[in-house]
Amino acid sequence: MTKASIVTNTAPTTDLDRVVGFTIPERHARGRVARLGPVLNEILSAHAYPPVIERLLAEALTLTALLGAMLKNAEGQMTLQAQTKGGIVSLLVCDYKNGELRGYVQFNAERLARLGKNPSLYALFNQGYLAITFDQSTTKERYQGIVPLDGESLSAAAESYFLQSEQIPSLVRLGVSRGADGELIAGGIFLQHLPEGELGRERLHTRLDHPEWQHVEALGSTMGADELADAAIPLETLVWRLFNEESEVRLLGGAQLSRGCRCDSAYITQVLGKFPVEERAAMADENGVISVDCAFCSTKFPVQLADFVSPPL
């Protein structure tokens, strides 16, 4: 798709809960842009998160959408998980599957309250790490990379992941804003330099100072957080603003995003059924009910002990 076709592309007046992919063939680069609105606020509404944690989870969910949209198979899953030792945030986990997002943060509210309004990433996580996992359903392959959470932002940690795990230079920018209605909007852009890998030629990812990548990175760095989180700007327009002077920019299509917690009574009963009878009995209350809470959607699932069939003697 040429740059002219990006200009004439019609996108929603309010562009939310969508991710769009694109490539710049002559620069050997690819990218994704995403923006979350109602889906983000639906996920956040499951817990009474304070503003600092809301913003952290909003950035993490946007990053998850950007990276998850790279999956080629609808049944594949991408999981982003941050854990710490002694951090105020002890666990942050988000995942993506076929356009469905979910996320959850576990944190110490008392310690968080003493930090102020804008704590650093280090203040939240202390000594932590970020794990990014791609599960390919068709090939049953699983790829995971782990990097320290020692940068200033989740964006920097994601860039370190691709640089260390795949030796591919990348750029990630995230933006979060709160509208007049109090609802959050989060947007992000993800750019990567693609290796050529042709026989007898140098693989691009071995040269971080490659002029093609420097050009794309410089342009991507000009994208402001306010633009990324502005629902009135179509995602295609963001791509156009950055790369309108390139000879060709190809839109790859995208995906609508939705909240997708995959918990259900049948699955939970199946999992509990793997426990010994004595352990299930210890989990139940005086009425013979095991109560299971889903951390993602804050839904309670009561399971009756009587629902489990005893093995034959």
Strands (E) across the chain are located at 18-24, 29-36, 77-85, 89-97, 100-107, 127-136, 141-148, 170-178, 184-193, 250-256, 258-259, 289-293, 300-304
Cα separation, 295 vs 49, in Å, equals 13
DSSP-assigned beta bridge partners for residue 93 = 81, 104
Query: CA dist 35 to 1, 21, 53, 59, 174, Å?
Result: 22, 12, 18, 10, 10
Q: What per-residue confidence (pLDDT) applies to 203?
A: 44
Q: What per-residue confidence (pLDDT) applies to 296?
A: 82
Query: 230-245: per-residue pLDDT in tens?
Result: 999 999 999 999 999 9
Based on C-alpha coordinates, what's the Rg of the chain? Answer: 22
Query: 260-287: per-residue pLDDT in tens?
Result: 887 777 778 888 888 888 888 888 888 8
pLDDT mean over 159-169: 84
pLDDT band, residue 104 (cuts 50/70/90): very high
Residue 240 and residue 6 in contact, taking contact as beta carbons nearer than 8 Å: yes
Query: 48-91: per-residue pLDDT in tens?
Result: 999 999 999 999 999 999 999 988 877 789 999 998 888 999 99
Cα separation, 166 vs 70, in Å, equals 14
> Which residue, among 153, 58, 156, 36, has the nearest Cα to 103 in the 3D structure?
58
Q: What per-residue confidence (pLDDT) applies to 205?
A: 44
For 71-88, b where at least 16 C-beta lie within 10 A, e where not — what string?
Answer: beeeebbbbbbbbbeebb
Q: Say which residue, 259 or 6, is predicted with more confidence.
A: 259
Q: What is the mean pLDDT of the chain?
A: 85
Q: Say which residue, 210 or 207, is predicted with more confidence.
A: 210
Say yes or no to pLDDT of 118 above 80: yes
Q: Which of 138-142, 164-168, 234-238, 253-257 has the highest mean pLDDT?
A: 234-238
Q: What per-residue confidence (pLDDT) applies to 275?
A: 86
pLDDT band, residue 208 (cuts 50/70/90): low
Cα separation, 296 vs 24, in Å, equals 37
| Domain boundaries along the sequence of the chain | 15-259, 265-307
Q: Which of 60-64, 130-134, 158-162 has the highest mean pLDDT?
A: 60-64
Amino acid at 207: R
Q: Is 213 helix (H, G, I), strand (E, B) or coil?
A: helix
Amino acid at 158: A
Ranges 175-179, 255-259, 289-293: which has the least confidence: 289-293
Q: What per-residue confidence (pLDDT) applies to 3?
A: 44
Query: 29-45: per-residue pLDDT in tens?
Result: 999 999 999 999 999 99
Q: Is 198 helix (H, G, I), strand (E, B) or coil?
A: coil
Give the fold, CATH level 3, of 15-259.
Hsp33 domain (3.55.30)
pLDDT mean over 246-259: 91
Q: What per-residue confidence (pLDDT) applies to 108?
A: 94
Only one residue has tokens 């280090």, namely: 122
Residue 238 and residue 33 in contact, taking contact as beta carbons nearer than 8 Å: yes
